[in-house]
Structure 1
Amino acid sequence: MKLTILGCYAATPRTITNPTSQVLEMNGHMFLIDAGEGTQVQLRRRKLKFQRINHIFISHLHGDHFYGLIGLVSTFMLLNRQADLHIYGPKGIKEVILLQLRLSNSFTGYKLFFHELTSKESEVVFEDDKVVVRTIPLDHRVYTNGYLFESKPGDRRLRIGAIEDLGIDRCYYQKIKNGGDITLEDGTVVKNSDITYDPDPTESYAFCSDTCYSEQIVPIIKDVKVLYHESTFLDSEEHYTEKTKHCTAKEAAKIATLANAGTLILGHYSTRYSDITLFKKEAETVFKGNILNGDDGAVFNL
């Protein structure tokens, strides 16, 4: 699981900071999460092979989270993209993108699918044999969802030495990987646990931006390996959170603690602050797990 943060600052882009956009690589997928202004420039700057992106997840329809989407959709057209592109986001995302394409007399040579979301309950929006993605309903000024990405358990791992010692034919390997026991020619039953190791641990990543403090999300993200949670303000500006529907670093840390998260990544900083290390220092007073400062261009091999 690899996370590349293209931008993680609030509100407007600046010459030194970018609005929200991330790339999550998990089990062969390259997911784009939010697409703030300048996303495709950041993708090129980070030398990411963004033609691999087949699924884009938009949290909400505030400009600093989706104004870069139409540019990327258009660039895919210019690059003669052929693969289908799926966009997940609030109801209205289809209208705004298709309107821009129509008024600019543009089109896509590839199939463009919109999955518009309206539910205020967590729901599965994407699933294949490797990954499942579900929404995390957030509390913001407009309809907003975070996203929980979870890898599915893989096959059991073969203990080749033990298997060869028993003379088990290779034709049974997939059955063993699937958890099956094996009966030898003499009738002896070999338990699967004696000839395999447990599968590699599953991975999970929760993206929560933008939202005010809400413990309602805790059951959805319980025991998540990595949590990205917005921390727009420091505690000294806590009085802004109610009006803006955002969080402080301490509140993000409290959610991470309640959810028993393995790692907390902070982001969506207000540009009023010049030193983002202060967010980590405040969060450390509450959350005792691993804390990382998100920043533009940061790459985390998780």
Structure 2
Amino acid sequence: MKLTILGCYAATPRTITNPTSQVLEIKNRLFLIDCGEGTQVQLRKNKIKFSKINHIFISHLHGDHLYGLIGTVSTFSLLGRTTDLHIYGPKGIKELILLQLKLTESWTTYSLFFHELESKESEVIFEDKKVVVRTIPLKHRVYTNGYLFTEKPDERKLNVEAVQRYDIHVAYYQKIKNGGDITLDDGTVIENEKLTFDPIPPKSYAFCSDTVYNENILPIIENVDVLYHESTFLESEATLAQKTLHSTAKEAATIALKANAKQLVLGHYSTRYEGIESFKEEAETIFSNVLLADDGVSFEF
């Protein structure tokens, strides 16, 4: 599982920072999460192939998470894309994008599918053979969702030495990898655990931006492998965080601790601060495994 941060700063883009956008690579799939201004430039800088992105997830309709979307959609057409593109986001996102395409007479060369979200309860919005994506309802100034990406378990690994020892025919190998026991000709039942190895445990990634401190999300993200949680402010500006419905680094760390997350990634920093190291220092007073997102940084888990 690989996370590439294209942008992770709040509010407006600057010459040295970009608003929120990131790419999650999980089970050989690329998911674009949020699409702030400048996203397509950052995709190029980070050598991410546009053609591999078939699903875009938008958390909410604030500009620093959205204003790069129409440009990205249009560029896909200019590059001759023919593969379907699916966009997930709050109700209104379809109207917003189609109006821009209509007025600029820039209809796409590919099929564009919108999956508009309205539910305030967590729901599965994408699922295939390898990955499931569900919403994480957040609390912000407008309707907002985070997203939980979870790998489906792999099939069990065949213990070749064991199946040969029991002289099990190759025709039963798939049944064994699917978890089935095997009955020999003499009636002896060989338990699956004796014939296989455990697969690599499935990984999970939770994206939570933007939101005020909200413990209601804990049951959804419990035991998550990696949690990205917004940390717009330091605790010294906690009052401002409450007023604007954002979180502090300390609050993000508290959510990670209570969710029993394995790893916390901080981001969505206010540009009022000179550096970001203080966010990590504050979070580590609560939670030990803290990483700092920054533009162009990749993490492999």
Shorter-chain TM band:
over 0.9
Distance 2:42 2:35 in 1: 10
Per mean C-alpha deviation after superposition, the further-off stretch among 218-227 and 158-167 is 158-167
Tell me the residue number matched to 2:273. Answer: 273
- Mapping of 1:203-218 within 5 angstroms? 203-218=203-218
Tell me the residue number matched to 1:249. Answer: 249
Tell me the residue number matched to 2:260. Answer: 260
Tell me the residue number matched to 1:295. Answer: 294
Question: TM-score, with normalisation over the residues of structure 2?
Answer: 0.98
Letter in 1 for 2:276: I
Tell me the residue number matched to 1:98. Answer: 98
Letter in 2 for 1:296: D
Unaligned runs of 5+ in 2: none
Letter in 2 for 1:24: L
Q: State the shift of 1:64 in Å.
A: 0.3
Distance 1:101 1:50 in 2: 19
Letter in 1 for 2:275: D
- Aligned length in residues: 301
Give the RMSD, CA atoms, in angstroms. 0.8
1:122-141 deviation line (CA, Å, top 9, x unaligned): 11100111111000000100
Q: State the shift of 1:75 in Å.
A: 0.7
1:55 correspondence with 2:55 = yes
2:251 alignment partner, SS class: helix
Distance 1:260 1:7 in 2: 26
- Mapping of 1:174-253 within 5 angstroms? 174-253=174-253
Distance 2:160 2:103 in 1: 61
Distance 1:188 1:141 in 2: 63
Distance 1:235 1:188 in 2: 64
Letter in 1 for 2:180: G
Q: State the shift of 1:165 in Å.
A: 1.8
- Given that 2:50 and 2:76 are in contact with CA atoms closer than 8 Å, whether structure 1 keeps it comes out as no
Distance 2:191 2:220 in 1: 35
Distance 2:188 2:246 in 1: 62
1:165 correspondence with 2:165 = yes
Tell me the residue number matched to 1:129. Answer: 129
- Mapping of 1:114-153 within 5 angstroms? 114-153=114-153
1:24 correspondence with 2:24 = yes
Question: TM-score, with normalisation over the residues of structure 1?
Answer: 0.98
Distance 1:264 1:127 in 2: 25
1:34 alignment partner, SS class: strand
Letter in 2 for 1:57: F
- Given that 2:204 and 2:225 are in contact with CA atoms closer than 8 Å, whether structure 1 keeps it comes out as yes
Q: State the shift of 1:185 in Å.
A: 2.9
Q: State the shift of 1:186 in Å.
A: 3.1
Q: State the shift of 1:166 in Å.
A: 1.8
Tell me the residue number matched to 2:284. Answer: 284
Distance 2:200 2:237 in 1: 43
Q: State the shift of 1:105 in Å.
A: 0.7
1:63-109 deviation line (CA, Å, top 9, x unaligned): 00010000110011111111110000000000000000000011111
Distance 2:49 2:106 in 1: 24
Q: State the shift of 1:50 in Å.
A: 2.1
Q: State the shift of 1:184 in Å.
A: 2.2
Q: State the shift of 1:154 in Å.
A: 0.9
Aligned-residue identity in percent: 70
Distance 2:33 2:165 in 1: 48
Q: State the shift of 1:161 in Å.
A: 1.1
